[in-house]
Chain A
Amino acid sequence: MKRVVAAVVLLLLSWTGSAAESDMPPTIQDVKARHASRLLAMPGVMSVGIGRGGEGHEVIVIGLDHARPQTQSKLPLQLEGYGVRVEIIGSVKAQ
């Protein structure tokens, strides 16, 4: 009987645990993964990664091959609550 109770308690705990997880805001990794392909399909976008913002918190960094006013005007300032920084990194080549 004790075992059955313990099993039920464990089940309840795991259920509430997963419910809590799904209520958590998405991680920056999740957000980056969701948007990377769309961003990389824009003209001149070479890379999308996670870097450090001026105040030390993590931001999504978009790398461009060179200054691209048209692309830059379409890039988001933030994604699902995370800051976005745009950098010119040049074209990336195998070395």
Chain B
Amino acid sequence: MAQDFNSVRSALASSRGRLLPQAHVVATGVGYKVTRGARTNALSIVCSVREKVALDRLRPQDRVPPTIDGIPTDVVATGVIRAFQARTARHRPAPGGVSIGHRNITAGTLGCLVKREGQVVVLSNNHVLANSNDALRGDAILQPGPHDGGTFPADHIADLHDFVPITFQEPPSECGFAGGVIAVLNAGCRLIGSRTRYRSVNIQPAENRVDAAIARPLAPNLVKDEILEIGTISGLGSGSLGTAIKKSGRTTGLTTGEVLQVDVTVNVQYGPGQVAQFTDQLLAGAMSQGGDSGSAVLDNGNRLIGLLFAGSDNSTIINRIEHVFSELRLTL
């Protein structure tokens, strides 16, 4: 016979105090009883348990009775219920996908764990772990990053170990000295009747392929070889046109996309008047925002294919993992 909702609620209210202390019960509530996988119309007191255990292996006081005040009970295995921890919170051990940063920056994303000469290191961007070149090996890395409340020394999780310097473009040459030298040279050319003329240019910067850095955890148990909502990395992959990808980042969490362009040469702004040109990048649609920098990018087989570092309103720019691994001499 179907029970009236209010009588089930009052039965639950009077029995909750007895049920919750039982060894495996993690939650109680009212719901339709499920029998052999099918929902019935009978309201029941639902006891969620960590795991189902055979009755004869339970102490009598830990057994959920088949009925309470004439109302059926239902035992459902839900596992341990954990409080949802924000990605901007402090995590120990810290997995990939949470806030991290050099002590003088705002915050970025802890990408994943990799190895350098057999030692576990944290991978993220230069502009996250090495303050866009303005850092020294051994500088403190905080989790969460300073913008998310991370402070030194309480949240000190790792030390900067190495980074690939970013070469920024110089502004147009306005060098007065060079201009003066050029004027003298050109006057000389005119005097001797030569048609050669000189002009001052900025030396074209070397190409950047990665915005990458690594940090060494202070202790192995401070970090976790797993990426939030993605899991563990299965191996190394390579992005090509149409590859379906995903990332797990501090700001926008788990997002998915597709490689829309390869072999991309792109000008990236790092601050007012600070621009760096990157070559051989992957471009995907909108799948990130500020703070997601440093996210590991994986394909659907959980193979690591890139390191996210920049984006616009409708694009995401990703370093190829091949370049990240070769420039920093990394392995999985």
Contacts and interface: CB of A to CB of B under 8 A. Distances in A.
A51 B261 contact: yes
B265 to A, nearest CB: 5
Contacts of A91: 269, 312
A72 B264 CA distance: 19
Given A49-B283, A92-B311, 5 more contacts: A40-B265, A40-B277, A51-B260, A89-B315, A94-B125
Interface in B236-277: 241-242, 260-270, 277
Contacts of B289: 95
A46 B127 contact: no
Interface in A19-65: 29, 32, 36, 40, 46-52, 58, 61, 63
B263 A92 contact: no
A92 B267 contact: yes
A93 interface: yes
Interface string B287-314: 0111111000000000000001111111
Chain A interface size, as a band, is 20 to 34
Contacts of B313: 90
A85 to B, nearest CB: 10
A94 B266 contact: no
A51 to B, nearest CB: 4
A56 B315 CA distance: 20
B317 interface: yes
User: Which of B283, B308, B310 neighbours the largest number of chain A CB atoms within 10 Å of its CB?
Assistant: B283
Given A47-B283, A50-B263, A52-B241, A94 B292 contact: no
B293 A94 contact: yes
Contact of B268 (A48, A58, A88, A93): A93
28 contacts: A46-B266, A46-B267, A46-B312, A47-B265, A47-B266, A48-B264, A48-B266, A49-B263, A49-B265, A49-B281, A50-B241, A50-B261, A50-B262, A50-B263, A50-B264, A51-B262, A52-B241, A52-B260, A63-B266, A88-B314, A89-B314, A92-B266, A93-B269, A94-B269, A95-B292, A95-B308, A95-B310, A95-B311
Contacts of A36: 265
| Closest 9 pairs between A and B when the two form their complex, measured CB to CB | A49-B264, A90-B312, A49-B261, A47-B266, A95-B293, A90-B313, A51-B261, A36-B265, A89-B315
A51 B108 CA distance: 29
A47 B310 contact: no
B211 interface: yes
Given A90-B312, A90-B314, A94-B293, A40 B267 contact: yes
Interface string B189-224: 000000000000000000000010000000000000
A79 B288 CA distance: 32
Contact of A63 (B269, B288, B315): B315
Contacts of A29: 263
A49 B314 CA distance: 15
Contacts of A94: 125, 127, 132, 211, 268-270, 293, 309-310
A5 B281 CA distance: 47
Interface string B101-145: 000000010000000000000000101000010000000000000
A39 to B, nearest CB: 9
Contacts of A40: 265, 267, 277
